């Protein structure tokens, strides 16, 4: 069999696996959006059965041998060549998949399916004790998974590798240790200044009108409604079933319209990335995103660097004001801009301001490290959470709903994901610096309601590459330098020193 024939056979098999993965994602989306709670056991059985089929296909020895045969005929798997990269990624995925026994993978699928429904109930009823046994099960399984991925420098690395390939916890810790004092210094300086008035943001904002304005802003960003839709869920998320079906959700709060608005911009940023992947990579190992930090760089860029900018609201505020004239008719653009960028330590990560956001991530990172090291018992998490919230942000949740139960990630087995948010912030600022150099009129275009230039730059420089490059490699290729946290701090300092007249 020629190399071309082997490649064709491999791609057919890989494509079949990705198609079933899309079906698996569809079941997960339905579970979060539409499924009645009573169907949890049945959905668990469905996901278990489908997960078994996908596992068997992805770990089939014949499939693995086909990958090895292709790899042996490629002179340099590290070459900057699409086929070399495609086979290298497939080999990495196969090697990782075959390390985990099927029964353990199926056990994790069932555990997370059950935990998802229980987490929703626990959050709604402020009952962490209800969720704790399910979290403990997920943690126990995660620790078993860690053993399959030896050797490692730290157990955390074995889990975070699925989200940030190659990124070590010691590297994340070094970045956080360098950022923390600089962010704390800025927050302290801000705290000594008068705070902007923002009470008008927390009136009763009609949810029907919120839905309309959110649809409008996602459209303005460039979301293709013929290949996506927006629904509501307990925790906003984006999911892709394939290059032509990428869906987003948001969560509406009647007395906080800006929460859903910025969550929608955030999730639309994720969706635009998935919809912009290079069509030539469809169905291959390159037809996905290589890093969740890259993914978060897109959502955070749209939510903050575009969505919370003065330029954006110069155009959009009259529209927003018209929708909610009852509360905003007497509020100036400048007052509104300062209000949505107010720095005030908050309980909820997804509603936090840019200056304090990374502190939420550092808190979660420390908790996950300690859980994996056996230094924190899951039964004690509410107390540990509250203590760290006090230490990091100076606020303490009054209940578990706004505390330890606020995030969906642990119920989905996503231990090791949180650093991606903070890394995404850093990458987003570095993208923005380069974008501003390449397109110096960007802010002027945004102020006219034209966001197409931002999307075009991201399509060309980030989206189209799929998984061809690892995250840090792509950052260097696009910006000409490695990840540099200075761009993030420069952005924060420039923005907030102007807002607060520091």
3-state helix, strand, coil in the chain (%, to 5): 70, 5, 30
Domain residue spans of the chain: 3-98, 169-499
How many residues are present in the chain? 502
d(CA 493, CA 490): 5
d(CA 311, CA 305): 10
pLDDT tens over the chain, length 502 residues: 899 999 999 999 999 999 999 999 999 999 999 999 899 899 999 999 999 999 999 999 999 999 999 999 999 999 999 999 999 999 999 999 999 999 999 999 999 999 999 999 999 999 999 999 999 999 999 999 999 999 999 999 999 999 999 999 999 999 999 999 999 999 999 999 999 999 999 999 999 999 999 999 999 999 999 999 999 999 899 999 999 999 999 999 999 989 999 999 999 999 999 999 999 999 999 999 999 999 999 999 999 999 999 999 999 999 999 999 999 999 999 999 999 999 999 999 988 999 999 999 999 999 999 999 999 999 999 999 999 999 999 999 999 999 999 999 999 999 999 999 999 999 999 999 999 999 999 999 999 999 999 999 999 999 999 999 999 999 999 999 999 999 999 999 999 999 999 8
- Burial class of residue 311 (count of CB atoms within 10 Å of its CB; 0-12, 13-18, 19+): middle
d(CA 94, CA 71): 13
d(CA 359, CA 492): 14
Q: Which of 164, 267, 274, 368 is catalytic?
A: 267
Element (H, E) at 343: none
Topology at the third CATH level for domain 169-499: 1.10.1370
| Residue of 342, 353, 363, 235 lying closest to 304 (CA atoms) | 353
| Residue of 225, 249, 289 lying closest to 420 (CA atoms) | 289
Which pLDDT belongs to residue 50?
A: 96
Which pLDDT belongs to residue 1?
A: 86
- Cα angle: 151, vertex 157, 159; to 5 degrees: 105
Residue with tokens 């860690």: 146
DSSP class of residue 69 equals H
Is 267 noted as a catalytic residue in this protein? yes
Handedness of CA 305, 310, 316, 322 (dihedral sign): positive
Give Cα 342 distance to the centre of its chain.
23
For the entire predicted model, the pTM comes to 0.94
């Amino acid at each position: 069999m020629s190399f071309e024939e082997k490649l064709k056979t491999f791609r057919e098999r890989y494509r079949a696996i990705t198609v079933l993965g899309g079906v698996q994602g569809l079941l997960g989306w339905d579970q979060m959006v539409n499924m009645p709670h009573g169907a949890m056991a049945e959905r668990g059985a469905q996901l278990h059965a489908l997960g078994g089929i996908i596992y068997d296909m992805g770990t089939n020895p014949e499939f693995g041998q086909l990958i090895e045969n292709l790899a042996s005929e490629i002179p340099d798997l590290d070459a900057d060549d699409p086929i070399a990269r495609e086979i290298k990624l497939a080999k990495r995925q196969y090697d990782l998949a075959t390390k985990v026994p099927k029964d353990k993978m199926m056990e994790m699928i069932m555990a997370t399916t059950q935990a998802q429904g229980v987490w929703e109930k626990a959050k709604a009823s402020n009952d962490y004790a209800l969720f704790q046994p399910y979290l403990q099960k997920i943690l126990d399984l995660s620790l078993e998974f860690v053993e399959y991925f030896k050797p490692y420098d730290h157990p955390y690395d074995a889990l975070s590798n699925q989200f940030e390939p190659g990124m070590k916890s010691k590297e994340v810790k070094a970045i956080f240790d360098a950022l923390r004092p600089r962010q704390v210094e800025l927050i302290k300086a801000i705290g000594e200044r008068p705070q902007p008035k923002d009470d008008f943001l927390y009136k009763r904002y009609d949810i029907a009108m919120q839905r309309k304005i959110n649809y409008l802003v996602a459209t303005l960003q460039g979301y293709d409604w013929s290949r996506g839709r927006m629904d509501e869920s307990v925790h906003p998320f984006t999911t892709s079933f394939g290059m032509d079906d990428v869906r987003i959700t948001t969560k509406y709060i009647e007395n906080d319209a800006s929460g859903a608005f910025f969550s929608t911009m955030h999730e639309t940023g994720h969706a635009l990335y998935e919809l912009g992947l290079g069509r030539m990579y469809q169905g291959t190992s390159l037809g996905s995103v290589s890093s969740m930090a890259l993914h978060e760089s897109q959502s955070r860029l749209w939510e903050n660097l575009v969505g919370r900018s003065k330029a954006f609201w110069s155009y959009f505020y009259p529209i927003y004001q018209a929708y909610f004239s009852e509360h905003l008719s007497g509020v100036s653009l400048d007052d509104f801009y300062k209000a949505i960028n107010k720095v005030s330590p908050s309980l909820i990560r997804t509603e936090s301001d840019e200056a304090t956001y990374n502190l939420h991530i550092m808190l979660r990172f420390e908790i996950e490290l300690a859980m994996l090291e056996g230094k924190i018992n899951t039964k004690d998490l509410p107390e540990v959470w509250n203590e760290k919230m006090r230490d990091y942000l100076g606020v303490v949740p009054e209940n578990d709903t706004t505390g330890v139960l606020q995030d969906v990630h642990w119920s989905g087995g996503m231990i090791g994901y949180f650093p991606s948010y903070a890394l995404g912030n850093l990458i987003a600022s570095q993208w923005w610096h380069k974008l501003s150099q390449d397109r110096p009129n960007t802010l002027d275009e945004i102020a006219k309601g034209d966001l197409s230039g931002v999307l075009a730059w991201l399509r060309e420089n980030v989206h189209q590459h799929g998984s061809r490059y690892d995250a840090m490699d792509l950052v260097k290729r696009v910006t000409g330098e490695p990840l540099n946290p200075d761009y993030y701090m420069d952005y924060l300092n420039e923005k907030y020193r102007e807002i607060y007249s520091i």
